[in-house]
Amino acid sequence: MSIKRIITTAAMALLPIAAGATTFVVPAAGAGPGVNGSQWQTELTLHSTSSTAMTATLTFHDSNGAAETASVSIAPRATVAIADVVKTRFHRDSATGAIEIVVADAFARKLAVASRTFNVSENGEFGQDIPAVNVDDAAAAGETVVLAAPSNVAETRFNAGLYAATAAAIRWELVRADGTVAKTVESTYAAGTQNQYNAAVEAIFGLTPADSDAVLAVVTKGTVIGYGSSINNRTGDPTFVPGVETTSDIRVQFLGIDSDLDNKVNIADADHDGVLDAPLSIYTSSTWPSTFRIIVDGNQVSYELVTPNAEILLSQDGYVVWKPSVTTATTATVRIRVTADGVSDVITIPIAFK
C-alpha cells in the first residue's frame, strides 16, 4: 500500500461517522388564554434510559412553519421536565403549535417523551396528555385520519388540528352520526406547519356541529399527524382525541386499469377501496417500456404521482409509460393522486415485475 493511501485511510478513520436522526412530534402544545377564561400551558417531560448523555433538539412549529429552536441536554438515566415549555423555551406568551423533538438514531429507543397540556383555573388544573408520535408513523397519502367529535355538543366544544410532516393535501369530510356527508373541504399545507382549528366544525366547514360528528382528514398527498381535543364548556376540562388512521372507500370513480390499451378494464377495483384487485405485471428488461392506462369515470380528471419517480411518465389523460430499471425486487407499489370533478383520492396500483 502506498504511503499516500495509508495517510488517506488514517485521516478517514479520524473523521466522525455521520449518524442519522429520529424525529418525534408532539402535535399540539400551547400557552396563553383560551375560550371561557381558560389559561393554557404545556409541560414537556423527557426521560432517558441511556447510560450516556444525549442531546435533544426542540423546534416549535406553527402555521408558518419552523420557528424557535432550543437544545436540551439529558444526563444518563435522567429526567428533564420543562414547565410551560412554549413560553419558557420558545418565548411565546400566546401561541399554539407542534413541538418537534430530534435525537440521534442511537437514542431513538432510549428516550421517553411525555407532554401534558392543561388549563389553569380557580378550580384547579384540568389537563390532558398529548402523546409524541414518531414522524415515520404519520398518516400517508391513501389513509384517512378519523377524529371523533363530542357526543354532546351543548356541553362540549371540539378543537382539531394537524401537523404536516411533509407538504400535504387533505380532503376534510364532516360525517354526521347517520353516515351523511354534510360537507367536504379541500386544503393544502406546507411541510413543517401546524394548524389548529378551534371550534373545528365551524372553522373548517362553516357548519353548526351536531352530536357524534366525525371529522375525517382524507390524506391525498404527503404525510400528517392529526389530533383533536374535546373541552367541557363548564369546567374547561379537556380530553385528548387521537387521530385514528384508517383506510376508506374512495369517492373518485376508479374503474381499473387498461393494460392492453383497448379501452377495456383488464384489472378492476371491484370493491372500490382505491386499490387494484390484482397486481399489474410490468417487464423490467424489455426493449420497449410498458404502457397502461388508468380508467376513471369523470369529466375533468387530472393525475399526479404521490411519490415522483423519474422512470415513470404520467400523462394527464391517464396513460402511464414505465420502463423500470433491472432490479432484484419482485414487487412494487405505485400511488397516484386522482382528481375527478373537484374530488381528490389516492389510488394504489400493486406491481409484479417479470
Taking only the tens place, the pLDDT of each residue in 279-293 is 999 888 667 889 999
Domain membership of residue 315 as a residue range: 253-353
* Count of structural domains, the chain: 3
Domain termination site, one of 87, 115, 134: 134
Give the separation between CA 267 and CA 259, rounded to whole angstroms. 8
Asked if 203 and 260 sit in the same domain, the reply is: no
Among 43-52, 98-107, 265-274, 286-295, the least confident range: 286-295
For residue 206, the tally of other CB atoms under 10 A from its CB is 10
CATH number of the domain within which 61 lies: 2.60.290.11
At residue 3, the pLDDT reads 37
Q: Which of 222, 178, 215 has the alpha carbon at shortest distance from 197?
A: 215
Asked if 40 and 143 sit in the same domain, the reply is: no
Asked if 68 and 175 sit in the same domain, the reply is: no
Report whether 167 contacts 138 (CB < 8 A). no
Give the percent of the chain with pLDDT over 90.
Answer: 80
Domain termination site, one of 246, 281, 302: 246
Please give the distance of CA 68 from its chain centroid, rounded to a whole number. 22
Average pLDDT over residues 176-192: 97
At residue 252, the pLDDT reads 94
- For residue 231, list its beta bridge partners: 157, 238
Contacts 24+ apart (CB under 8 A), 200-203: 200/147, 200/149, 200/158, 200/159, 200/160, 200/161, 200/228, 201/149, 201/158, 201/174
Give the separation between CA 94 and CA 331, rounded to whole angstroms. 50
Report whether 354 contacts 283 (CB < 8 A). yes
Asked if 236 and 282 sit in the same domain, the reply is: no
Domain termination site, one of 178, 213, 246: 246
Residue 8 reports pLDDT greater than 60: no
Asked if 163 and 238 sit in the same domain, the reply is: yes
Asked if 110 and 14 sit in the same domain, the reply is: yes
Compute the mean pLDDT over every residue in the chain, rounded to the nearest whole number. Answer: 91
Asked if 203 and 225 sit in the same domain, the reply is: yes
Average pLDDT over residues 254-261: 96
At residue 85, the pLDDT reads 97
Grade residue 14 by pLDDT with cuts at 50, 70 and 90.
very low
Among 6-20, 68-82, 340-354, the least confident range: 6-20
Average pLDDT over residues 212-236: 95
At residue 30, the pLDDT reads 94
Asked if 213 and 295 sit in the same domain, the reply is: no
Average pLDDT over residues 194-215: 98
Asked if 239 and 209 sit in the same domain, the reply is: yes
The residue type of 68 is E
At residue 286, the pLDDT reads 64
CATH number of the domain within which 316 lies: 2.60.40.10
At residue 123, the pLDDT reads 75
Asked if 257 and 311 sit in the same domain, the reply is: yes
Asked if 225 and 294 sit in the same domain, the reply is: no
Asked if 118 and 145 sit in the same domain, the reply is: no
